[in-house]
Structures are given as structure tokens and as C-alpha cells.
Structure 1
Amino acid sequence: MSERPSGLKNPQGAVRGLGAATLSMEAIVLLLAIVPLSVLGGERKGLAIAVVSVGAVVAIALCGMMKRSWAWQAGSVLQVLLLLGGLLHWAVAAVGVIFGLAWLYALHVRRTILG
């Protein structure tokens, strides 16, 4: 019994687009988190803002590199680092959880479509 084709004309492009869209939304949310962190961040707000800013820059850079196979692993590392950023402020961990789940879904779709 053969697998059903995905029906997509360019499945690799569709999967890359999903990964890039996920990372670009994450970058936007991370950039929007800077102001609330600066107001409510507590004593470690400077480091939390730095982590969020670097995470946004990395996410934007990875958006353009989704053709490379290592970009998917780098995106996974980014999600783990944001979760660890929760040690600085709980809001960073919340973003890490939300986009970590979205990234897991993107990885699942990638595996389903590309095999």
C-alpha cells in the first residue's frame, strides 16, 4: 500500500514557509515583549530583555535560512533557550512554551509531509 501524496506542488516550499511563518510570528511576539519586560521585569530585567532581543534576531535570521536542514535544529535550540530564559522572568518561559508547542507542530507537519 503506497502513501497518499500530499497534493502540494512544492511540499518542501510549503514546509519551509510554515517554519518561517512560525519563527517570524515568534520574533514579533518577542519584540513586543520588550516593553512589558522593561516595566515589570524586576531585578533581572536587563538580562531578560537581552535574551528576548537576541532571540528575536535569531528567529528573524533563521526565517531566511529554512532551506538549510540545520535551521530546523537551530529553531529547536531557540525554543529550548527561551524556556531556559524563564529563569530570568516567567513571561519569557510563557513565550517559550507557546512557541515551543507551535514549533513542535511545525516539526510534526514537516515529518508528515516530507517523511
Structure 2
Amino acid sequence: MDLQDQLKNLFPEHDFQEENHDEGTENSIWMQEAPLLCKYEKRKGKPITIIDGYTGATEDFKTLAKELKTKLSVGGSFKDDKIIIQGDFRDKIMEMLKEKGFKVKRVGG
């Protein structure tokens, strides 16, 4: 007997309606016309990838940063309206952003 059955036994007159919670992270992020810039740098001898140029809300960009870090299983941060990912993941990041519907421009080497 699951929770729904127990609730129906406790409240027989109540009409239960199922709610659909969609994980719409892709639709909740604001898409822009200008391309995002994907840069490669070395800081203290370590490679990093920087995503810059987002003009939407900061919270949307933070959500995107968290999603990228989770999918790539790497560390990173969000500072000064830039996503900083540890390592050289330009190709993978550009591919992921294009799948989401963003235009991406590769800057540097």
C-alpha cells in the first residue's frame, strides 16, 4: 500500500489530482540573440574555460553554470558575469550550449 492509497483511505471524499512537475531548466533560461563567447586561458599554469557574454538574468546564468559543471563533472565558479570551468572543455561546452539553443563563438586558439 503506497502513500496515495493511504491518503484515499483517510480522505475518501477528497478528489485527488496528480500534478505534473516538469524539469524545464532549458525553457526557464532566457535565450539571447548575441552569441556567448567561449574562451580558453591559462591561469597559474592551469587551463580554464571561460563563458562570457550572457545578457540575461544572473540567476539564469548561475543555473547554467551549475548544470555545465555537473554534466562535465568538473569544478568551476561564477564570477563577474562569467562562468569559469576548470580545464579545457571548449568543444564539449560549445556542443552542450548549441543543443540548448544558444549561439556560441569560439575566441582564442
TM-score by structure 2 length?
0.32
Question: Greater share of helix residues, 1 or 2?
Answer: 1
Question: Greater share of strand residues, 1 or 2?
Answer: 2
Of the two, which has the highest radius of gyration?
Answer: 2
TM-score by structure 1 length?
0.31
